[in-house]
A and B are shown apart, each in its own frame.
Chain A
Amino acid sequence: MKSDLRLPNPYPSSTNAARGFEKVILRLVKSGPERRAIEAGQVDAVMDTASGTAVLLPEAQRALIERKARFHQLSRLAYDWFWEQDDLYRFVSHTGAANGSSGIFDESIIGRTLRDPPFDSMSEADWGAHRRLLEWRAAVRDLELRCTDRAGEVRWVSINGEPTFDEQDQFKGYRGTMRDITLRKQLEALAQKPLRLACDTLDALAVQVCVLDAAGTVISANKPAGAFAAGSRSIGAVVREGANFLEVCDKARGSDRVDGVAIAAGIRQVIAGDSPLFHHEYVCNSPAGRSWFNLTVTAFSGDGAARVVVSRENVTERKRVERIPGDGATRVVVSRGNVAGHMDAEGEPAANRLLAALPRKDYRRLRAGLEPVTLTYGEVLYEPGDPIRHVYFPNNCVVSLLETLKEHEALEVGLVGREGMVGIPLALGTDVSSVRALVQGSGTAMRMESAHFHKAFKQCLPLQRELYRYANTKLSQARQSAACNRFHGVEARLARWLLMTRDRMGMNDFRLTQELLGSMLGVLRGAVTKAAGALQQRKLISYSRGNIRILDGNGLEAAACRCYQIARSLHS
């Protein structure tokens, strides 16, 4: 038998297979049917009871050798090297192109493992993991390793191997194949270059860019977006891959709520294909100060699936430049019909009348505990029963105090603007709000923590005086409006309410929906429509899609009930 035919068992008696085979057969096979089968050429092997082995007939032996050689030839086409390792995973033999032209390996590899040179890409951890695999006697599949060939060039090989066992089932080592995949690796690296260039370009932009899938999940984000996510708590804080942008927008609370809802709606529109582009400008308050953002959402069909690109630019610098200095006038930035924010001088001292009424040195002492914030239309500062954590001194926003009876819509019982403070109960000895405080008109306010307020209130007599006076005014107003709500018509009350809002916001344009107006006045929406229609017909106001403009202030005062004059005289 030829030496390269490695069958599971040696056949001692087959060495003289070709010659004198007849004799063997005659000795082994005596019964008729077997003999006939042999003569018919239908038999491959004969059992030798003496040695306990099978003896291949010459024909079968040749066929098996041929087959083995064919297998070798075919597998040589698929692989560059064959190798064998001992039970300590050291190379004990290698054959194939390794010796020839490609020249990665020579005899020096014998006795080495995959951890040793010329292999150089396995870290300690990789080798540990690989060793564990080998200890389990698992097959090695497509293990890709870097190595240095004899000329000092970097090469890559792919390794496949299987454990081998001896006859007693003892582990002998591994054997397998190796393939030179240097060319493939080089091509892969080449193909990734333009891609990496594009990624680097995106990362270098000042604009935050992220891609969302149809469900709103962030698929990828550039570096500025990632950095922003790490540094902010506002709506921007979502741009981490895998996070859901829509969910975070929907969940936005506090001053971000309105923007969150608007952004989520815009993104959904673009995803649904209803609109090719959505644009929104909004303000973020962070410990570092106020920032303005310009957010653009565009549709994008990357790999066939619906995707949107959200890009956001920090436009704070530009906004600061654009701000109109001097006259203290505020400008309204409108995006898609939503009031996104007011810009004014950053918490100028005199903006809130109550604070302005304080002597300068008292005000200066208070100033340390005051923090400018932007309050946005629709934001709830307190709910009934909530502990009061902050008091607010509105600069140019309007906060409405609402009584919420269980079985009814909310009813407005007070309005706080720049003449007052939200959180009066604190000055009167309770730290729980009995009403809902809802921001009616976006704008800025000065905020103070309740603990700080307590201390300041105790120490500062002028503040006490101002707040008591204000509280008394509020009480009178509440009595007044209780009577007004009972006796006066919707139209007159609407006129009064619009005027009060105007006085507190210091402007003639503001945004109010009919539902909200209804709940302010404690009437149904239809009644509001009717009353607003009547005022509009008299050219006193203009009203469209929730945006109200007062056209004729004096005319509106005439239309309002006398309560307006009384309330105003209380303040002045």
Chain B
Amino acid sequence: MRRKKTKRGASAPAVTTVVVMRLYIANSAPNSVRAVANLAAICEEHLKDNFKLEVIDVLEYPLRALADGILVTPSLAKVSPLPAAKIVGNLSDKKSVIHALGISESVE
């Protein structure tokens, strides 16, 4: 599946590349709120302005989530640069998020 591909093929994009992401949440449920806060902190620290984030409330737009192949919320999908990636959960594991977004090497 997509997720497996990304883990193996994660490459380091140039730091100036704009990372496009979608975060799927369930209104203001606890884990969703946490996910938003965690992601905001990571973006602030590692991406500065080089990212685009769309937050989708699945309670309002469930069909959108289904079309994007999302099964649970919160979930974060990296759309570009390729390869695409998906992280499930409240994004409290910072390391794995950074890794999945492919920005680990540029940070270190």
Chain A residues at the B interface, C-beta cutoff of 8 Å: 7-9, 28-29, 31, 33-34, 37-38, 40-47, 49, 52-54, 56, 59-60, 63-64, 67
A515 → chain B, closest Cβ, in Å? 73
- Contact of B1 with A42 in the complex, beta carbons under 8 Å: no
- Contact of B31 with A60 in the complex, beta carbons under 8 Å: yes
- Contact of A67 with B28 in the complex, beta carbons under 8 Å: yes
- Contact of B58 with A45 in the complex, beta carbons under 8 Å: yes
- Contact of B27 with A42 in the complex, beta carbons under 8 Å: no
- Contact of A44 with B25 in the complex, beta carbons under 8 Å: yes
Most buried by B among A7, A44, A60, A67: A44
Q: For window 49-80 of chain B, which residues contact chain A by CB distance below 8 Å?
A: 58-60, 62-63, 65-66, 70-74
Most buried by B among A33, A38, A53, A59: A33
Chain B residues with CB below 8 A from A34, complex form: 71-72, 88
Chain B residues with CB below 8 A from A28, complex form: 71
- Contact of A64 with B28 in the complex, beta carbons under 8 Å: yes
Interface residue range, chain B: 20 to 34
CB contacts between A and B, total, < 8 Å = 88
Quick check: is B92 within 8 A (CB to CB) of the other chain? yes
B26 → chain A, closest Cβ, in Å? 4
Q: Which of A31, A44, A67 contacts B26 (CB 8 A)?
A: A44
Question: Beyond A40-B89, A45-B73, A64-B28: 17 further Cβ-contacts under 8 Å?
Answer: A29-B71, A31-B71, A37-B88, A37-B89, A41-B31, A42-B88, A42-B90, A43-B89, A44-B30, A44-B32, A46-B73, A47-B65, A47-B73, A52-B63, A53-B62, A54-B26, A56-B59
Query: What are the 3 closest A-B residue pairs judged by CB atoms, nearest first?
Result: A60-B29, A44-B29, A42-B89
Given the complex of chains A and B, what is the CA–CA distance between A53 and B73 in angstroms?
A: 12
Q: For window 9-35 of chain B, which residues contact chain A by CB distance below 8 Å?
A: 25-32
Chain A residues with CB below 8 A from B31, complex form: 41-44, 60
A284 → chain B, closest Cβ, in Å? 72
* Nearest-CB residue, chain A, relative to B92: A42
* Nearest-CB residue, chain B, relative to A25: B72
- Contact of B30 with A43 in the complex, beta carbons under 8 Å: no
B88 → chain A, closest Cβ, in Å? 4
Given the complex of chains A and B, what is the CA–CA distance between A52 and B25 in angstroms?
A: 16
Most buried by B among A7, A9, A37, A56: A37
* Nearest-CB residue, chain A, relative to B25: A44
* Nearest-CB residue, chain B, relative to A8: B60
